[in-house]
Amino acid sequence: MTAMLEMRNVSKSFAGVQALRDVNFSVEAGQIHALVGENGAGKSTLMKVLSGVYPAGSYEGTIIFEGQERRFRDINDSEALGIIIIHQELALIPLMSIAENIFLSHPPSKFGVIDRDQVYRRTRELLAQVGLKESPDTLITDLGVGKQQLVEIAKALSKRVRMLILDEPTASLNEADSAALLERLMKFREQGIGSILISHKLNEVARVADHITVLRDGRTVDGIDCRAEPIQEDRIIRSMVNRDLAHRFPERSAKIGEPVLEVSNWSVYHPIHPDRQVIKNVNFGVKRGEVVGIAGLMGAGRTEFAMSLFGRSWGTNISGRIALEGHEIVLPTVAAAIDAGLAYVTEDRKQLGLILADDVRKNITLASLDQVAPGRVIDDIAELKVASDYRNRMRIRCSDVYQETGQLSGGNQQKVVLSKWLMTDPKVLILDEPTRGIDVGAKYEIYCIINELAEAGRGVVVISSEMPELLGICDRICVMNDGAFVGEFPGAEATQENIMRAIMRNERSNGNGAARAAEMGGSQP
């Protein structure tokens, strides 16, 4: 079979930094080609070269697509040939309908007037192709992230698609939505569409990919033909990081002590729909030195539960009791929660965790300025020392603590957020999706930090949609579904199967649980 796309000896550098060196990359028609590598390995750069974001002439090497050498001047050139890229950040307009979004740039029209019948008919066809049953009139903002991703793909299909590029399409999806999306990808394979899948999730890659290319430091370091040989995750990881990760999770011997946080009969209602109970009278606890995982589908209410505990920063009509180290406390504000010794590391570090335009130092000290400001006046030298200290301890890779956090990679940004919360010296840390969008090497470092925190006698709660991660680092896993805990497993007994089983059992008994879960996913803050 001849290759549909061939990129030969592609090199690209930015201001002296070599981002790509002699990369060779080819995709066949009807092939799902996975592109993996750590953040900064050059995956996105390569895709930008391919799609014309970096125009011909700004890189070296040749691109051959469908038998001809191509020199794209911009993204329109590549789209005209059917090379469609779907970015990690969705580019949909929230307050417009599905149909309006799909036909945003070239709506079918007669004499400049949009032909609505045709728009609706074609939208329905496209939605059917991606397996969405929503009405074309539904506003994007009313859809969950998973469905938005599918709309984005439907939008791509409205153009002539020969090759689909998906950049981390499942990063913000739960297991069920991810599975549905990958299912779609395999359908496209049957239609002869070539796909390039960029993903950090190796289990997904293993499931669907026909070929895997591993990039490291801008070079192709490994190519695996999945149809010819079995996929070994360890081999991929080894190629990606060039170090033998015999264990993807650090060893730990748990020393679990007294209960530190106990929550009982906790109930929370939705802030916009006050009659909807989102958290249903749950009980929850963490002990000193313990790492507790909360598993669940997106929309199960995990983030809402955590944020409602953290100074009532989500929800209304909150009731229930919180005891910290045996003493009952009331936490009406975030400031009170921080003072009491609670810390919440958000799942959305760019929107809710960091001030991206501010430097590393200001972000680290933001939640505990009083420590470096005797008499409310900031001692800038004390502040600098604290910030530099965290930078060294957490191994934050930045030019200095005056660097803007917006310029750092995802893993380093996450370390800045963690530093901010460590500085408040919390008794209990709630980490919401702490490794989302972070590469394998940085993930390992985050796991080590979680271990250290537990060893120092803090209680750690980890909310994660990646089950292997929970299985790898938690002493105990609680399963949440539809606002209630539906299962609990000691770390040694937990498996992906029995966690999923607990969720599915509950879904069936609720009947409409899945629909409600999806609905709630869309209306998260």
Partner 1 sequence: MTDKTVSLPEERRHGSFIKNNLRNYGMLMSLIAIMLFFQVMTSGTLLQPLNLTNLVLQNSYIVIMALGMLLVIVTGHIDLSVGSVAGFVGAVAALLMVTYKVDYTLAFLICLAVGAAIGAAQGYWVAYFKIPSFIVTLAGMLVFKGLALAVLQGQSLGPFPPTFQKLSSGFIPELLPEAGTLHPTSMLIGAVLALGLVYASAKSRAREVSHGIEVEPYAFFLGKSVVLAFAVLYFTYLIATYRGLPNVLVIMSVLIALYGFVTRRTVIGRQIYAVGGNAKAAGLSGIKTERLTFFTFVNMGVLAALAGLVFAARLNTATPKAGLGFELDVIAACFIGGASAYGGVGRVGGAVVGAMIMGVMNNGMSILGIGIDYQQVIKGLVLLGAVCIDVYNQRR
Which residues contribute to the site for partner 1 (CB under 8 A)? 310-311, 313, 333-335, 337-338, 344, 346, 351-358, 362, 366-367, 369-370, 373, 376-378, 380-381, 384-385, 399-400, 420
CB of 352 to partner 1, least distance (A): 5
Whose Cβ is closer to partner 1: residue 145's or residue 345's?
A: 345
CB of 420 to partner 1, least distance (A): 7
Whose Cβ is closer to partner 1: residue 14's or residue 125's?
A: 14
CB of 272 to partner 1, least distance (A): 14
Find out whether 299 and 517 touch, Cβ atoms under 8 Å.
yes
Angle, CA of 492, 493 and 494, to the nearest 5°: 100
Residue 359's alpha-carbon distances to 105, 257, 401, 438, in angstroms, are 38, 38, 7, 20
Whose Cβ is closer to partner 1: residue 128's or residue 335's?
A: 335
Please classify residue 318 by burial: count the beta carbons closer than 10 Å to its beta carbon, then call 0-12 exposed, 13-18 middle and 19+ buried.
Answer: middle
Question: How many C-beta neighbours within 10 Å does residue 158 have?
Answer: 20
CB of 308 to partner 1, least distance (A): 13
Whose Cβ is closer to partner 1: residue 354's or residue 474's?
A: 354
Find out whether 239 and 224 touch, Cβ atoms under 8 Å.
no
CB of 366 to partner 1, least distance (A): 5
Paired sense of beta strands 194-198 and 32-36, if any: parallel
Find out whether 255 and 455 touch, Cβ atoms under 8 Å.
yes
Whose Cβ is closer to partner 1: residue 146's or residue 426's?
A: 426
- Partner residues linked to 34 by β-bridges: 197, 212
- Which alpha helices (H) appear in 14-131, and where do they start and end? 43-51, 75-80, 98-102, 116-130
CB of 307 to partner 1, least distance (A): 8
CB of 13 to partner 1, least distance (A): 18
User: What order of strands is seen across the sheet that includes strand 484-490?
Assistant: 342-345, 428-432, 459-463, 291-295, 476-481, 484-490
Whose Cβ is closer to partner 1: residue 79's or residue 383's?
A: 383
CB of 520 to partner 1, least distance (A): 19
Find out whether 367 and 429 touch, Cβ atoms under 8 Å.
no
Whose Cβ is closer to partner 1: residue 81's or residue 356's?
A: 356
Question: SS3 of 311, please?
Answer: coil
Whose Cβ is closer to partner 1: residue 315's or residue 353's?
A: 353
CB of 165 to partner 1, least distance (A): 26
Whose Cβ is closer to partner 1: residue 211's or residue 349's?
A: 349
Residues 6+ apart with CB under 8 A from 412: 396, 397, 398, 442
Tokens for 21, please give them: 């060196």
